[in-house]
Amino acid sequence: MLQDLSIVLASKSPRRQELLKLMGLNFKVELKDVDESYPENLKPDEIAVYISEKKAKAFKFEHEIVITADTIVALNGEILGKPKNREHAQEMLAKLSGNKHEVYTGVTIVKGDKISSFYDKTEVECRVVSSEEIDFYIDNFKPYDKAGSYGVQDWWGLAVVKRMNGSYTNVMGLPTEKLYGALLKFTL
């Protein structure tokens, strides 16, 4: 049973922690600072996996499974990371307004020398939003820790996202169905 595993989640994301809890997994959180830069020539799915693997390689546990993840938002090939400040968040959200974008989450599972990585992709379409709505969102939901400057589980997801093609939990930051299957395979 996966619920009996000793898992370390290497993420400060409250959403990832909530998702693992909802999956019934027992875990503790451990963090390490990792440089999240990546080579310029990588595609969005490769960037997410590259950074996830970088995070995983910072940990060396023989008896615990470490799970790391990295989520990025791509709009017409442009990577929208976490906003640097309010103006940057306004700029990103204005770009997402009325457009379709992709959310990629790279996930790495590691224990000792064994490592397994995968990614998931979800297409997201947003309705057109006004600058007043963008300011309301930033003021009330402070999306500074979120790729693309939004959280699908809050006002933006409820009031702005028109449709999604793919995993909802992937957009939250952890594709749980794929993770569960990968953990089953990893522990065989």
Establish whether 135 is a catalytic residue.
Answer: no
CATH architecture of the domain formed by 2-186: Alpha-Beta Complex (3.90)
Mean of pLDDT values over 37-43: 94
Mean pLDDT of the chain: 95
The pLDDT assigned to 168 comes to: 97
Q: Which whole number is the average pLDDT over 137-153?
A: 96
pLDDT the model gives residue 4 = 84
pLDDT > 90 fraction of the chain, expressed in percent and rounded? 90
DSSP symbols for the chain: -GGGS-EEE----HHHHHHHHHTT--EEE----------TT--HHHHHHHHHHHHHHT---SSSEEEEEEEEEEETTEEE-S-SSHHHHHHHHHHHTT-EEEEEEEEEEEETTEEEEEEEEEEEEE----HHHHHHHHHHH--TTSGGG--TTSHHHHHTEEEEES-HHHHHT--HHHHHHHHHHHT-
At residue 3 the predicted structure's pLDDT band, cuts being 50, 70 and 90, is confident
What pLDDT digit, counting tens, does each position of 12-30 carry? 999 999 999 999 999 999 9
Considering the entire predicted model, what is its pTM? 0.94
Taking the domains of the chain in order of start, what are their residue ranges?
2-186
Which position among 4, 45, 70, 154 bears the catalytic label?
70
pLDDT in tens, 47-97: 999 999 999 999 888 889 999 999 999 999 999 999 999 999 999 999 999
Mean pLDDT of 35-57: 95
Per the structure block, which two tokens stand in for 114? 């064994």
Q: Given this model, what pLDDT does residue 22 score?
A: 95
Between 159 and 1, name the one with better pLDDT.
159
Quote the pLDDT of residue 148.
96
